[in-house]
Amino acid sequence: MPNARATHLTRRGILAAGGALGLGAVLAACGDDDAKSEGSGEATTAAKSGPWTFKDDRGTTVKLDKVPTKIVAFVGVAAALYDYGIEVKGVFGPTKTQDGKADVQAGDMDVSKLTVFGNVWDQFNVEKYAAFAPEVLISTTFDSAGTLWYVPEASKEKIAKLAPSAAISVYDRQLTQPLQRMWELAESLGADMKADKTAQAKKDFEAAAERLRKAAKARPEIKVMAGSASQDIFYVSGTNLSIDLEYFKALGVNFVEPPESAKKEGGGWFESLSWENVDKYPADIIMMDDRSSTIQPADITEATWKKLPAVKAGQIIARSPEPILSYAKCTPLLTSLAEAIEKAKKVA
């Protein structure tokens, strides 16, 4: 694990250091502001035998002679498409845990049936990918330049030559926007978006959002902190840039907000605290990064952590900084936070 205190900011360092809150901190820090592009929301639904067109959030239009079936995607994208009935056979990104079980980002997919080209950061087997003969690669992007998440910098050009790519932006916007874009992508790939299960999932999401709005309005005094743990550093995320926190804030949730100056080292995403200073911000509820790259609350042994009022009160819930972008998977995130706020004791 790279030294979390290192002053040289790298994408690998942000991730490995627990930079889960930062996700694309370095991408944001080093991104090309002039390369900003917004998705048009355009997606073309094609018959299985007809041509396929999709305009992604980089402004890039992918055109194929037929709807692709040999799709390779970042695991979270594949999990979202799976919820809509689109099976992706090739993935990259955190797919399996060390014991071979499905990573949290794999959703409901059967990981034993997937072809995995890389399970960790900076790992991508290009030769295996070429032999797979992919028709399209789909990922998310965490910066304004449209950098494909989990596609290694060193091999991105070789990967790009083997198949066209598409990206869904999860940078500096509210959760509902990438959710809608993933819906459009799934529809373009042939998903039945009028299926009862799919329609109900969207209604459930909307109901959960309203519940969270009401809970936040009824309990404005409850302060929520979004955190992430590594061996040496505790990360506190601001609401800017992160799709989930931006949306929750818009619904009225009262978040801890580190000053911009404190988030500078984290590319504007988060502030890094030593464990000795983990009590810097008072909070009634702490949302902790649930990804396998971070230390989970039950495994934190720091005495300063155990003394936090929210920890002592048991007011800790999970947070998914990289939510699986289907309505079915995002609804529990809203429900969990709403319930926590409804039941929370004012302890900070």
pLDDT at 39: 38
* 87 Cβ contact list (under 8 Å, min separation 6): 81
Name the pLDDT band for 50 (thresholds 50, 70, 90): confident
What mean pLDDT comes out for the span 211-229?
A: 98
Q: Which of 249, 258, 243 is nearest to 325 (CA)?
A: 243
Number of C-alpha atoms within 13 angstroms, CB side, residue 95? 27
CA distance 122 to 102: 20
pLDDT band per the 50, 70, 90 thresholds, residue 41: very low
What would the mean pLDDT of 325-336 be, rounded to a whole number?
98
Count of C-beta atoms within a 10 Å radius of residue 168: 27
Opening angle at CA 324, ends 321 and 329, nearest 5: 110
Q: What does the angle CA 233 – CA 239 – CA 244 come to, to the nearest 5 degrees?
A: 100
Q: Which residue has the higher pLDDT, 86 or 4?
A: 86
Task: State the residue for tokens 């014991």.
Answer: 99
d(CA 311, CA 227): 12
Q: Is residue 37 pLDDT above 80, yes or no? A: no
Is residue 31 over pLDDT 70?
no
Residue 215, SS3 per DSSP: helix
With the C-alpha atoms ordered 228, 232, 238, 242, is the resulting torsion angle positive or negative?
negative
> What average pLDDT does the chain have?
89
**pLDDT tens digits, 53-69:** 999 999 999 999 999 99
Q: Which residues, at least 6 apart from 201, have a Cβ–Cβ distance to it below 8 Å? A: 83, 326, 327, 328, 331
Q: What angle do CA 329, 233, 255 make, to 5 degrees?
A: 50
Which among 260, 258, 236, 253 has a CA at the least distance from the CA of 336? 253
Q: How confident is the model at residue 226 (pLDDT cuts 50, 70, 90)?
A: very high
* pLDDT > 60? residue 7: no
**CA 197 vs CA 84, 86, 183: distances in Å:** 9, 14, 14
For residues 343 and 33, the model is more confident at 343
Amino acid of residue 71: I
Judged by average pLDDT, the poorest of 257-266, 270-279, 333-342 is 257-266
